[in-house]
Chain A
């Protein structure tokens, strides 16, 4: 996606307007104090009015039938204002897992409900052993039941469906996808985890002999898992560039208004040059995030490379934006009352979620090694 179509620009406009009119950092700060972390009725309005639920899900499964490019646009606009909601968990992570791995029956059962917002879903994959290496799973599913503890699970509070990623004890150690219905007969316990980013809920989920249903037929697990991660990275990268762009704009605006030494600080080169460099980083990250979204939309075999490029580039851009924006604000940038730290915290948590910059550089090299036959 080097240029957006008119329909895509319109979509961006609509989402941006919704966010501008109905959300604010004041509201976000209030939600940060709540247990669920989001405004349920606003979230329902968003799904109902804009139809962005299941935006990239085929119409036969209750979605809007658009592509990953449109999903990316929605995420960028949400990331721009740090819109707090389970959208990422339900409509990106869980939806992607179902789309990639689910059988037609499973898709038909769950995707429409997730798209409409009737079901809130999330995916649980981090465990103690794979916080550094997403491929290393210790906890397994035995005879269709799962006991274990999953960490950093997003929006598990209030979720009706959790997709667990864990190997099958009797098969190889390859990660498989499993459906766990939250309900009376499932002993699933949720414990919130303190996050530096209070605009996105994470928690620990304990599963105690919970019956799980295998998603799909259990084939190609390694490949599907790695695709699931790539898809998540691309989605997150697009969300991140939205936030980075907001930080850049807010830093420039502040610099144009703040006067020191009898002139706006935006006339000082130390400030201007920082912003020029930042613009370059942000544009780079956008290009990579958009390109990777197109790769998913088009089923491009280069996706593994592009996903790592997108995540690494948005990591660097978002953190640079966060650091520079605080620096340009000076002392006020370090206060709780100023909003910059909200973005800084989202940037930091996103930077390490689904792989650090260094990890993605290394992944990129491994993917290139394969291509070059080294």
Chain B
């Protein structure tokens, strides 16, 4: 197929003209989208896509937005799960899971971090033992966002303790609907409880739900994380246009979003809400304060530069350069911007920055920014880890001497 901008626009338009109905049933509509390939057009033809270059995705999104069409479910971890299965899964896994990821019927979470292994993800001590035709899982995960809504989890666990750390790991799909899995919500410093502790007591995984082979866990987890870092920021994409559209399908989508987006309501605040800086400065008069003006300008410059740098990275990808560790640069940029934004919001609010909830500026949104920003430099790999990745993989600097080589059972642990 000739992937020309105008053709794509035309094709999407024609498809939507013929099929989009704001009063359709959400599930039925999404299945139609999936079958036509317009839900995830950049995916392979064989798996509900059209092999369309990623670069043209924007055009598809524009046409959907134009008529207010709802698209496939994209919220949360689900697309990371899907991309991981597309890259490393087998066909029966893709067959079983991909469609329901896109219809929104099944929700996923990422079971990577543990109390003893966060940055050092490869230090996982969750135990996976093959017993007959089943893997039996014992151990604990933590900071698991959305586990309280999850049907499935992407699980990293250790099947071999005699191998060196990174080689003894395997990757699994864990079904939450079983007795051996217990989820305890964790309350965060901003009052929300979007992440959880997850305990496994003889949790079971059918053999066919292992992704890749024994020992592939680390490499597959890296695929998942690369997609996460690249998409940091649009993980809570609603998949629906805002606007003055009416129809019964919106009520269904809203009801779904209310549940699926619940863990993410504070994510925009975590990124610093740069959009609020100038309007609030004008409203409060801080716009006349020379110090505030300097800090606001600094923030706006950073966020413009980040936007343009992302566009350069995307353009490079379109020219055929593969997505690399540059995602780490974007993640670090996002942290810097969020921290500068928190500084700006404090400057603008002045003494009001100590007030929260209904007593705080913007009905507590400013307080929520100040109390959520600390997460951005931790979640998805800390800033320090991003700097390690950038310096080693982008700049070609040397690795630190390691103290965790040899059989994992002999490595020092928490």
Contact = CB atoms under 8 A, between A and B. Distances in A.
A362 B296 CA distance: 10
Most buried by B among A287, A309, A369: A287
Contact of A280 (B318, B329, B401): B329
Contacts of B293: 361-362, 365
Contacts of A269: 384, 387-388, 400
B287 interface: yes
B392 interface: yes
Contacts of B395: 248, 252, 272, 275-276, 279
A256 B386 CA distance: 19
Nearest to B394: A279
Contacts, number: 123
A266 B301 contact: no
A291 interface: yes
Given A255-B397, A276-B386, A358 B333 contact: no
Interface stretch (B57-65, B202-210, B222-230, B306-314): B306-314
Nearest to A253: B396
B397 A287 contact: no
B302 interface: yes
23 contacts: A2-B312, A3-B316, A3-B319, A252-B395, A263-B401, A267-B399, A267-B400, A267-B401, A272-B391, A276-B394, A280-B329, A280-B390, A284-B305, A286-B309, A290-B312, A312-B297, A313-B301, A361-B293, A361-B294, A361-B301, A362-B293, A365-B287, A374-B287
Interface in B318-345: 318-319, 329, 332-333, 336
A141 B352 CA distance: 54
B397 A272 contact: yes
A277 interface: yes
Given A255-B397, A267-B398, A368-B300, 6 more contacts: A2-B312, A2-B315, A252-B395, A263-B398, A365-B297, A369-B287
A268 B400 CA distance: 7
B304 interface: yes
Nearest to B400: A267
A369 B399 CA distance: 47
Contact of B300 (A252, A273, A358, A364): A364
B387 A273 contact: yes
B193 interface: no
B278 interface: yes
A119 B150 CA distance: 73
Q: Interface size class for chain A?
A: 35 or more
A365 B316 CA distance: 32
B302 A361 contact: no
A284 B387 contact: no
B409 interface: no
Interface string A94-134: 00000000000000000000000000000000000000000
Nearest 3 CB-CB pairings of A with B: A361-B297, A3-B315, A284-B305
A280 B301 contact: no
Helix, strand, loop or mixed for chain B's interface?
helix
Interface in A258-272: 263-264, 266-269, 271-272
A58 B394 CA distance: 39
A3 B401 contact: no
Interface string A31-61: 0000000000000000000000000000000
B332 A280 contact: yes
Contacts of A372: 278, 282
B311 A275 contact: no
Q: Which of B297, B386, B394, B396 has the most CB of A within 10 A?
A: B297
B312 A3 contact: yes
Given A361-B298, A365-B293, A284 B309 contact: yes
Contact of A362 (B294, B300, B302): B294
A160 B282 CA distance: 50
B224 to A, nearest CB: 22
Given A364-B297, A374-B282, A272 B392 contact: yes
Contacts of A81: none
Interface string B148-176: 00000000000000000000000000000
Contacts of B392: 272
A39 to B, nearest CB: 33
Interface in A160-206: none
Nearest to B388: A272
A353 to B, nearest CB: 19
Q: Which of A276, A372, A374 has the most CB of B within 10 A?
A: A276
A313 B305 contact: yes
Given A272-B397, A364-B300, A288 B308 contact: yes
Nearest to A312: B301
B171 to A, nearest CB: 28
A214 to B, nearest CB: 36
Nearest to B329: A280
Given A252-B396, A288-B308, A275 B294 contact: no
A286 B315 CA distance: 14
B314 to A, nearest CB: 7
Contact of A275 (B287, B329, B397): B397
Given A2-B312, A256-B396, A279-B395, A287 B305 contact: yes
Contact of B391 (A263, A273, A283): A273
B131 to A, nearest CB: 42
B398 A2 contact: no
Contacts of A280: 329, 332-333, 336, 390
B308 A279 contact: no
Contacts of B314: 2
A280 B336 CA distance: 10
A285 interface: yes
A288 B301 CA distance: 9
Nearest to B304: A309
A290 B65 CA distance: 30
Contacts of A313: 301, 305
A284 B306 contact: yes
Nearest to A263: B401
